[in-house]
Structure 1
Amino acid sequence: MHLIWFDFLFSDGQIIEAIECYHPSIVAIDAPLSLPNGLCCLEESCPCQSLSSAKGRVCERELSRRGIPCYYTTKKSIIKDMVYRAIALKDEITARGYQVIEVYPYAAKVRLLGRHIPKKITPEGVAFLKERLAALLPNPIPYLEMFNHDLCDALLAAYNAYLYDKGEIESIGDPEEGAIFIPAILKGKRHG
């Protein structure tokens, strides 16, 4: 895995432009890319209903069962706008012929770095992430010292795509409904 470019991208157009410029084999998005089975939207006024009486998607419930907290994709979700944007972006990217996967950097951190991770918004947390990412990734990361917690999460998302490409990934959830991909547990072997 080689970091060839990084930047803060704010619009979907900027994201699409970067993808078209670099042609990645896999695009990893850190946001829900699907709705729970049975839902056509997340609007409380819509009569659509989840096919499950349980909250959220199977992948989110599975993460929670494993002790990894996350936001649930429900009609009461505080991240509705992000979910709608991510789904539309995924649809646009896949329509252009790219493979898109859903990732969750916090789950990757837990899987790769353990459960005792300082909060990413603190200086200690950012320093911890930079140190661990530098040791974890197969090649040196240029400008890593300039990364904030958002860029560290983006780097973890890219690393998940890299592991997906190498077959060192675990799919969490129901593939029909939407899965989250996290690093696989490798017995006696290091990722990458």
Structure 2
Amino acid sequence: MVKVIGIDLAGLESNPSGFSLLTDHELHNQIIYRDSEILKTCAASQPSVVAIDAPLSLPGRGSLREADLALIRRGFRVFPPNFGGMRSLTVRGMKLAGKIRRSGIEVIEVHPRTSGLILFGSDDRKKWVAGLRRAGFELQGGAGRHEIDAALAAVTGLLRLQGKTEEIGTEKEGKIIIPRARCSLSPLRCWRGWRRPRPGSAPPFSA
């Protein structure tokens, strides 16, 4: 069974982070705090990809990465990785992503608000939830803003596996993964025969 984890990461371990495990068509949402909890759950779940809502790299110079600038040019709102409290979030995200990647799991940076605007035309989380349910997803567990952001992060990770996303940014500074415009949402139960493509091969699904 293919699994995807979405994390709405907090800047400090003392603050709540949203965590969502997507299996088949179910999104299991909860609040989680410590990095050790996140790493333990990732190790136990062995997801195909972990999608983190946090900057996972720093700009080469200035306050914004090319990925941030590209999203701003498209009309999306993002915060500089070095801005105020974002700095602690970025540092935590980079360290956590490194540890997960060393275990052989793919980690991507996502931005749920941008995903919500692309998929549902809104930054209203209630509309995200309604849209996910219409698409056949079942949301279980917590339904606060952190959990919903984590759920949309997980869905963005699913779209990544289905070849329905764009990579925004550069290899050097890091990339943000966003849904392609007008892509369709499909739960994992529609892709039971999915297998991870070999490096360099074409994605098995298109928008």
TM-score (norm 2): 0.72
1:81-100 superposed matches below 5 A: 81-100=88-107
Distance 1:31 1:155 in 2: 14
1:38-77 superposed matches below 5 A: 50=61, 55-74=63-82, 76-77=83-84
Distance 2:139 2:77 in 1: 31
RMSD of aligned alpha carbons: 1.8
State the match for 2:31 in structure 1: 8
Q: 1:57 to 1:77 in 2, by over 3 A?
A: farther
Shift of 1:7: 1.9
Distance 1:155 1:184 in 2: 18
Shift of 1:9: 1.1
State the match for 1:172 in structure 2: 168
Shift of 1:2: 2.8
Distance 2:140 2:163 in 1: 28
Shift of 1:67: 0.6
Runs (4+) off by over 6 Å = none
1:148-187 superposed matches below 5 A: 148-186=144-182
Mapped pair 1:108 → 2:115: yes
- Which of the numbers 40, 45, 48 marks the counterpart of 1:25? 48
Distance 2:68 2:28 in 1: 31
Distance 2:28 2:152 in 1: 15
Shift of 1:4: 6.0
Which ranges in structure 2 are unaligned for 5 or more consecutive residues?
Answer: 1-23, 187-207
Distance 1:86 1:2 in 2: 27
The answer to which structure has the higher strand fraction is 2
User: Residue 81 of structure 2 aligns to a residue in which SS?
Assistant: coil
Greater C-alpha radius of gyration: 1
Shift of 1:183: 0.5
Deviation digits for residues 118-169 of structure 1, max 9, x if unmatched?
A: 4xxxxxxx43332122123xx331437x511211111100001101111111
Distance 1:24 1:8 in 2: 18
Letter of the aligned partner of 1:143 in structure 2?
A: Q
Please say if residues 27 and 151 of structure 2, whose CA atoms lie closer than 8 Å, have aligned partners that are also in contact: no
Shift of 1:175: 2.4
Shift of 1:83: 0.6
Please say if residues 173 and 179 of structure 1, whose CA atoms lie closer than 8 Å, have aligned partners that are also in contact: yes
- Which of the numbers 59, 81, 96 marks the counterpart of 1:36? 59
State the match for 1:117 in structure 2: 123
Which ranges in structure 1 are unaligned for 5 or more consecutive residues?
Answer: 38-49, 119-125
Distance 1:143 1:73 in 2: 31
Deviation digits for residues 16-56 of structure 1, max 9, x if unmatched?
A: 0110111001010100001112xxxxxxxxxxxx1xx5x41
Distance 2:120 2:139 in 1: 21
User: Residue 100 of structure 2 aligns to a residue in which SS?
Assistant: helix
